[in-house]
C-alpha cells in the first residue's frame, strides 16, 4: 500500500477509535457529561487556560532549542515558540498527536539555520523526537508515581513506558551535555505542571468539592492517557483514564469524565494562538505558490516566438 494511503488509513482508524471510546463514555454516563462540562466553564477559565497553555508552550520551545542547538540547528526563541504553538494546535485537531511536531521539524523556513543543509532534515527530526520523548517520559513517570500505592500493575506499565521513552530519547541526547539534559528534564517537568494545573483548574470549576490530592493524581493519570497516540487530540482515552482514576479514589467516574472534558475544551482553547501562527506562516507560502503556478501557466500559453 502506498505511504499516502497508509497514512490516511491510520488517521481514519484513530478517528474511529476516538469516536468509539467517546460513544462508550456517552452510553455509560450520558451525553450530558459533555454538554455540562462545556456550559460550566466561566469566561475567566479560558483566560487562565491561555496563560497556562502559553507557559507550557514556552517551556517546550526552550527545551527544544537546547536539544536542537546540539544538533547544529539554531532556532530563535520567538521562532521556537511560534512553531511549538502551531504544533500544539495541529496536534490537538489531527489524529495521532504528532503531525504538528512533524511539521515543526520539517519546516524549512528562514527562521531557523542549520550548520549543514545536507542532514538538516534528519537532525531536525532527531531534536524534535528527543525533546518530545523526554516530555513523554516525565508524563508517564508522574502517572506511575501517583498510581503506585493504589494500582501497582498500571503503575508499573506507566513506569516501563517512561523508561522506554527515555531510552529512545537517549539516542539523540548523546550530543547534549549532562548539565543541559538536566535543564531539558526540568523544563519538561515545568511543562507537565502547567498542563496538570490546567486539569486542576477544570476540576476546581466543575467539581469544586473534590479533594485536591485526588485532583492532582487524576491529572497525572489523565495526561498519561492522552499521551498514548491512538486518537485525536487526546480525546477518549483521556476521559476514560480520568473516569478510572476518579473511581479508584472513591469519587464518581462521571465527575472524572466531566472534568476531563472541561480540560479538553480549555486545552484546545489554549492552542488557538497556534492557529493564527499557522495562518500567518502558511498563507504567504500559498500566495507565492499560486503566483509561481500562474506564471508557469502564462508562459506555457504564450510560448516564445522563433
Residue 257 lies in a domain: yes
Q: Rounded to whole angstroms, how far apart are CA atoms 83 and 213?
A: 35
What pLDDT sits at residue 56?
A: 96
Q: How far is CA 286 from the centre of its chain?
A: 26
Q: Do 142 and 161 form a contact (C-beta atoms < 8 A)?
A: no
What pLDDT sits at residue 14?
A: 82
Boundaries of domain holding 206 = 13-132+172-184+191-279
Q: Do 18 and 236 form a contact (C-beta atoms < 8 A)?
A: yes
Residue 59 lies in a domain: yes
Residue 230 lies in a domain: yes
Residue 137 lies in a domain: no
What pLDDT sits at residue 304?
A: 56
pLDDT below 50 — which residues of the chain? none
What pLDDT sits at residue 284?
A: 66
Residue 281: CB atoms within 10 A of its CB come to 17
Q: Rounded to whole angstroms, how far apart are CA atoms 104 and 85?
A: 10
Instruction: Tell me whether residue 187 is exposed, middle or buried, using C-beta atoms within 10 angstroms of its C-beta: 0 to 12, 13 to 18, 19 or more.
Output: buried
What pLDDT sits at residue 121?
A: 78
Residues paired with 74 in a beta bridge: 113
Residue 85 lies in a domain: yes
Total of domains in the chain: 1
What pLDDT sits at residue 90?
A: 92
Amino acid at each position: 500500500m502506498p505511504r499516502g494511503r497508509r497514512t490516511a488509513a491510520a488517521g481514519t482508524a484513530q478517528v474511529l477509535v476516538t469516536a468509539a471510546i467517546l460513544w462508550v463514555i456517552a452510553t455509560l454516563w450520558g451525553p450530558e457529561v459533555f454538554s455540562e462540562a462545556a456550559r460550566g466553564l466561566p469566561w475567566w477559565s479560558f483566560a487562565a487556560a491561555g496563560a497556562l497553555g502559553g507557559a507550557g508552550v514556552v517551556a517546550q520551545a526552550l527545551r527544544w532549542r537546547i536539544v536542537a542547538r546540539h544538533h547544529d540547528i539554531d532556532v530563535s526563541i520567538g521562532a521556537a515558540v511560534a512553531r511549538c504553538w502551531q504544533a500544539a494546535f495541529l496536534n490537538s485537531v489531527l489524529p495521532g498527536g504528532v503531525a504538528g511536531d512533524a511539521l515543526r521539524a520539517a519546516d524549512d523556513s528562514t527562521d531557523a539555520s542549520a550548520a549543514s543543509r545536507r542532514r538538516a532534515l534528519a537532525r531536525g527530526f532527531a531534536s524534535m523526537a528527543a525533546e518530545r520523548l523526554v516530555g513523554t517520559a516525565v508524563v508517564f513517570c508522574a502517572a506511575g508515581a501517583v498510581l503506585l500505592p493504589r494500582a501497582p500493575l498500571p503503575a508499573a506499565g506507566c513506569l516501563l513506558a517512561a523508561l522506554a521513552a527515555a531510552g529512545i530519547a537517549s539516542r539523540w541526547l548523546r550530543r547534549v551535555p549532562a548539565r543541559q539534559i538536566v535543564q531539558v528534564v526540568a523544563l519538561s517537568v515545568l511543562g507537565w505542571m502547567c498542563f496538570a494545573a490546567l486539569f486542576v483548574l477544570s476540576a476546581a470549576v466543575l467539581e469544586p468539592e473534590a479533594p485536591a490530592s485526588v485532583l492532582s493524581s487524576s491529572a497525572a493519570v489523565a495526561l498519561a492517557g492522552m499521551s498514548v497516540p491512538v486518537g485525536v487530540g487526546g480525546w477518549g482515552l483521556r476521559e476514560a483514564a480520568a473516569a478510572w482514576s476518579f473511581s479508584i479514589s472513591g469519587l464518581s467516574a462521571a465527575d472524572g469524565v466531566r472534568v476531563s472534558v472541561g480540560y479538553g475544551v480549555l486545552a484546545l482553547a489554549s492552542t488557538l494562538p497556534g492557529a493564527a501562527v499557522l495562518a500567518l506562516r502558511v498563507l504567504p507560502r500559498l500566495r507565492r505558490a499560486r503566483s509561481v503556478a500562474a506564471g508557469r501557466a502564462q508562459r506555457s500559453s504564450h510560448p516564445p516566438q522563433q
